[in-house]
A and B are shown apart, each in its own frame.
Chain A
């Protein structure tokens, strides 16, 4: 079964670009997109429409924007790390901000990596390829995580 990546971003263009980049990078994982923090938490906890895991499988990786309405990326990070189930879920922050404060806080809350959104789709494609090969390829995950 293919791996699943959950992309959390409120910017529709960035979401679409990510989909395009994944397509152009010929990524083997399934990409799921939600547009704010609240939806991300709902997705992870399987509440509401996300209860259907065949349609919305638990992600193996989360790409998380920080500045979002309702619940921010930080809220999602904090929540996920408080859940036994998502303690080891690789969470990669992918945001426009490169502010020192944001970077520090993200790591403090348990982010595994911090990436700045590039201008230039080719760079984004490269980034997707690297994420796939490293985080979904080389990186060793806990086996129990996706077997729900």
Chain B
């Protein structure tokens, strides 16, 4: 049972695989050897009736050879020894004893043993040879495989390179690669088409440099050298000559290709035609220069014309002043001599004559005032109005002093709210404004009415509003805007002295100081004029 089981499981596996001379374990080898010898024993035993004591070792020798063939030389030797022992003990005479009977037996044992050992040595050698052959076969196979793989890889590389070159050739730019040291290794078709250089001219001795503009060569070489040393990307603008001899601007950009460890492998670069951009850029620069030039020219002309204008304004102003002063000279004469006539010869004149003479005096005075006001207004139009912090209260008192005669003459009653804040103003202009407004308030009252005037101040945010309220004749709403314009006089000349410029001076003056003026009024109910200026804390 056990034998058949062993023979049925282990033996076919060993035999079938044909590899157990090296692969089975030692235990399996011993088992196989024992099994084989036992099988031989059983067979010899079964044939004993026919064989008797003849061929006591033949079966065991055969079994040992089989074991040696399949289980290795050592298993074979082991099986041989076991077989010889069993054969000698059971089948050689005397049976069931180890006692050597005679020399023949011993000789047979030794002969068998030796023959078998030689056979096993041959088997061992055969095995080793076969092993070597198999190893060589495997090596050959591996080599074959490797060569196939390499061929495939090379093919793939060729294809990839071809694709890459096709791609590079399809690009509108010039493409090139260079070795780690910067030596050109490849340029695409575009390069040859553009420069008209051959491959030889391009690759040999930095021949490609001949296509670069002589003025740019040194710079290009210098920049490339620096980039190669640093292993950094570069960008160079250079002029490259085309096959027609025309230099066109190109933007050359290069990138270092590095391996995983950061070692520089090669350079990949492109040169793009930027001639159009460059021209546009140059055109733009030229246009900007022209623009700057024109702007400068314009500025100069503006300055010149402004200067000329200022000059003519000054000249005009001079003329105006001279004319104005010359106009006043006859007035002085008219007024003066008429007065002398009236005072020295009053008895010689009739009342009508006296009235006529007074009219001359009055007209001369009015014209004088008119000229003075016109000069003030003209001056206000273009004079510089430097402002500073002004005490409004003190300024108001000064104006009242200036008008003292008129106030006394008209017996005007004036109330001033105190104190008043400081304002941002020009003292001369503010004085003109205040005297004009106050003088108007005193002047424009109904006949036989005592002027009653209130002066007050309202503060609102950063603004100060000074107001002057009177009990005068008032102004119809329709005319409230009109009165601030030059020569707008609502009242007939007689009875109300005025040139029609006073309020225009007030408005212009306020505006020149960054302020404003206005009036609230109703006919017969008096007026409330106001001037608004910036407050000064």
A interface list, Cβ under 8 A from B: 11, 13-14, 17, 20-21, 67, 96-97, 99, 117-122, 124
| A20-B336 in contact (CB<8A) | yes
**A11 CA / B327 CA spacing, docked (Å):** 13
| B365-A20 in contact (CB<8A) | no
Instruction: Find the B residue at minimum CB distance from A119.
Output: B368
Q: Which of B326, B329, B368 has the most CB of A within 10 A?
A: B329
| A17-B336 in contact (CB<8A) | yes
Q: Mark B209-252, 1 if CB is under 8 A from A, else 0.
A: 00000000000000000000000000000000000000000000
- Give min CB distance, A125 to chain B, whole Å: 10
| B340-A119 in contact (CB<8A) | no
Q: Given the complex, which residues of B lie within 8 Å of A21, measured CB to CB?
A: 336
Task: List 16 other contacts, CB 8 Å, given A117-B328, A120-B335.
Answer: A11-B329, A13-B330, A13-B337, A14-B329, A14-B333, A17-B333, A17-B337, A67-B325, A96-B325, A97-B321, A117-B332, A119-B335, A120-B332, A120-B368, A121-B336, A121-B340
| A14-B340 in contact (CB<8A) | no
Q: Given the complex, which residues of A lie within 8 Å of B325, measured CB to CB?
A: 67, 96-97
**A15 CA / B204 CA spacing, docked (Å):** 109
| B365-A120 in contact (CB<8A) | yes
**A99 CA / B368 CA spacing, docked (Å):** 16
B440 within 8 A of partner (CB):
no
- Give min CB distance, A97 to chain B, whole Å: 5
Q: Which of B330, B335, B365 has the most CB of A within 10 A?
A: B335
- Knowing A120-B365, A121-B340, A122-B339, the reply to whether A13 touches B321 (Cβ < 8 A) is no
**A99 CA / B323 CA spacing, docked (Å):** 13
- Give min CB distance, A93 to chain B, whole Å: 13
**A101 CA / B364 CA spacing, docked (Å):** 27
Q: List 29 A-B contacts (CB under 8 A).
A: A11-B329, A13-B330, A13-B332, A13-B333, A13-B336, A14-B329, A14-B333, A17-B332, A17-B333, A17-B336, A20-B336, A21-B336, A67-B322, A67-B325, A96-B325, A97-B321, A97-B325, A99-B321, A119-B328, A119-B335, A119-B364, A119-B368, A120-B335, A120-B336, A120-B339, A120-B368, A121-B339, A121-B340, A124-B336
Overall SS of chain B's interface: helix
B331 within 8 A of partner (CB):
yes
**A59 CA / B319 CA spacing, docked (Å):** 34
Which residues of B301-356 have CB atoms within 8 Å of chain A's CB atoms?
321-322, 325-326, 328-333, 335-337, 339-340
Q: Mark B349-371, 1 if CB is under 8 A from A, else 0.
A: 00000000000000011001000
Q: How many residues of B contact A (CB 8 A)?
A: 18
Q: Given the complex, which residues of B lie within 8 Å of A14, measured CB to CB?
A: 329, 332-333
| Cβ-neighbour of B340 out of A20, A97, A118 (below 8 A) | A20
Q: Given the complex, which residues of A lie within 8 Å of B322, measured CB to CB?
A: 67
Q: Given the complex, which residues of B lie within 8 Å of A120, measured CB to CB?
A: 332, 335-336, 339, 365, 368
Q: Mark B168-191, 1 if CB is under 8 A from A, else 0.
A: 000000000000000000000000
Q: Given the complex, which residues of A lie within 8 Å of B337, measured CB to CB?
A: 13, 17
Q: Given the complex, which residues of B lie within 8 Å of A11, measured CB to CB?
A: 329
Which residues of B364-390 have CB atoms within 8 Å of chain A's CB atoms?
364-365, 368
**A21 CA / B328 CA spacing, docked (Å):** 18
- Knowing A119-B364, A119-B368, the reply to whether A96 touches B336 (Cβ < 8 A) is no
- Give min CB distance, B39 to chain A, whole Å: 150
**A14 CA / B328 CA spacing, docked (Å):** 11
Q: Given the complex, which residues of B lie within 8 Å of A67, measured CB to CB?
A: 322, 325
